[in-house]
């Protein structure tokens, strides 16, 4: 039996590029996937695709910048299903390209809410349910730039580093428990649509979203102490 059989796993930002592959992978392992996105239509498309493949999923629109709304989502899932066993944070965004000497703080100010505050909100909202689960897992998809920033991406790198800090703080809160908070590090993600649009491109160092989904699903196969606070590298280390 899969360790995900009967689990309830919430996916934040599931309407993005990695969401469909991850929701499909979790559902095929036996989980009920709670698909959340700021856009209900995008979340519903992911849930409908899971259902069409025989899996279980539900869709909801959640403003993850709203503490009350995020807490209400976690509470509702726990109340209706009796437990929540995972929160996967896929909320993304990117701005950059301007050399540091010429850049203002516009990139940081635009990226801090979606990349940092949403991690803080979900970490706080799902802390208690994940701690109560026999195998609660929190995962953040991050970037190698969090630990090796470049001069043209300071705002993005700073936001990713801050998001990792929130995740590691949650890992500390999970110490000596059956719950774990992990960071999945990629260079960039490769979706089927990107491959279809550029079939001859090498996409060197990119992580296929199916591989990311396998790695995240594998968190439930590992003992909590081996993945809690860990960075799982799907790209070359700096």
Beta carbons of 132 and 88 less than 8 angstroms apart: no
99: how many CB neighbours lie within 10 A of its CB? Answer: 10
The string of DSSP letters for 16-57 reads STTHHHHHHHHHHTTPEEEEEESSHHHHHHHHHHHHHTT-EE
Q: What is the pLDDT of residue 91?
A: 97
* pLDDT at res. 238: 73
Q: Which contacts (CB < 8 Å, 24+ apart) does range 92-101 have?
A: 92/13, 92/16, 92/17, 92/141, 94/156, 95/155, 95/156, 96/152, 96/153, 96/154, 96/155, 96/156, 97/152, 97/153, 98/152, 99/151, 99/152, 100/151, 100/152, 100/154, 101/151
What pLDDT is stored for residue 98 in this prediction? 81
pLDDT, averaged per 10 consecutive residues of the chain (238 residues), comes to 95 96 98 97 98 97 97 98 98 83 86 97 98 98 94 94 98 98 95 92 93 98 98 87
């Amino acid at each position: 039996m899969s360790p995900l059989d009967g689990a309830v796993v919430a996916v934040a930002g599931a309407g993005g590029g990695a969401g469909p592959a991850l929701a499909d992978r979790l559902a095929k392992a036996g989980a009920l996937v709670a698909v959340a996105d700021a856009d209900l239509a995008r979340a519903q498309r992911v849930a409908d695709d899971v259902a069409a493949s025989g899996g279980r999923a539900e869709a909801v629109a959640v403003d993850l910048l709203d503490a009350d709304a995020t807490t209400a989502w976690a509470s509702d899932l726990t109340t209706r299903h009796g437990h929540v066993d995972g929160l996967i944070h896929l909320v993304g965004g990117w701005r950059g390209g301007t050399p540091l000497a010429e850049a203002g703080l516009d990139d940081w100010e635009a990226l801090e809410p979606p990349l940092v505050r949403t991690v803080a909100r979900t970490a706080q909202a799902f802390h208690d349910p994940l701690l109560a689960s026999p195998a609660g897992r929190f995962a953040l998809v991050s970037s190698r730039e969090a630990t090796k920033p470049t001069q043209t991406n300071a705002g993005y790198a700073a936001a990713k580093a801050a998001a990792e800090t929130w995740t590691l703080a949650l890992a500390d809160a999970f110490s000596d428990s059956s719950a774990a908070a992990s960071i999945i590090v990629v260079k960039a993600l490769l979706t089927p649509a990107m491959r279809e649009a550029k079939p001859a491109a090498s996409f060197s160092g990119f992580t296929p979203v199916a591989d990311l989904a396998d790695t995240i699903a594998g968190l439930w196969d590992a003992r909590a102490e081996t993945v809690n606070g860990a960075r799982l590298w799907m790209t070359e280390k700096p």
